[in-house]
Amino acid sequence: MLSLGVIHARGGSKRIPRKNIKPLNGYPLIAYIVRSALSSQIDRVIVSTDDSEIAAIAKQFGAEVPFMRPSEISEDVPSEQVTGHALEWAESNENSSYDVVVTLQPTTPFIEPSHIDNCLEKLSNNLEIESCFTAVRVTEPPQWMFAVEGELQIAKTFMSGDISGERGVYQELPPLFLPNGGAYATRVKALRKQNILIANPAAIVTVSHEKSVDIDEPIDWILAESVGSLHGFKPLL
């Protein structure tokens, strides 16, 4: 089962400028996922970026950057387009053929090689599964969430029913999981047929909360610095 890893790292991050190469506890953010991917069982790892500085830093930490991402997929586009482009480029320009493509993001820096490997192993051992992604158990159940309506902001539970009895006890609710943005392993045939990274049927690899930090807002950066310092998380150099 030949696999291609594609790290998404465009230059135009808005909420945290130059996020993908901003130092996180002394290392460029992209270094974390590059080193984890290279230490995993992925057969080949490449970075898809439109930015020459990101490309240079990714290469310093061992990644391949065989092309520069076209401008039309360097804005806010679905992730499957970026992964699909990288896959098509590799197959067309290098006469390669892959069975699985693994989408990776620098913004979940504490993903470990074992998490990636577990995704690949689930696909290898279960032919009925089309994709497998890293996920974290939610601590804010949708049963407790409200939508608001009208000028008076009338609040109604998003999922019908009252928050009472067992529904008000977290431990009594069924466990639910959210993709943490770390790794999405997808069979190539399923990606092309369904045009989605989480192709159905999908499986998950559960990751702890501290290793599921997903950097999107400035407050997330502060959290990542704190968690990384507390647990001594560093790129695998």
Residue numbers annotated as active site: 167
Report d(CA 199, CA 202) in Å as an integer. Answer: 6
Q: Kindly tell me the sign of the dihedral angle through the C-alpha atoms of 77, 83, 88, 94.
A: positive
CA torsion, ordered 214, 215, 219, 223, to nearest 10 deg:
60
Residues sharing a CB contact under 8 Å with residue 32, sequence separation 6 or more, in sequence order = 24, 106, 109, 110, 111, 233, 234, 235
41, 48 in Cβ contact below 8 A? no
54, 30 in Cβ contact below 8 A? yes
Report d(CA 6, CA 34) in Å as an integer. Answer: 10
The phi, psi pair for 139, rounded to 5°, reads -105, -5
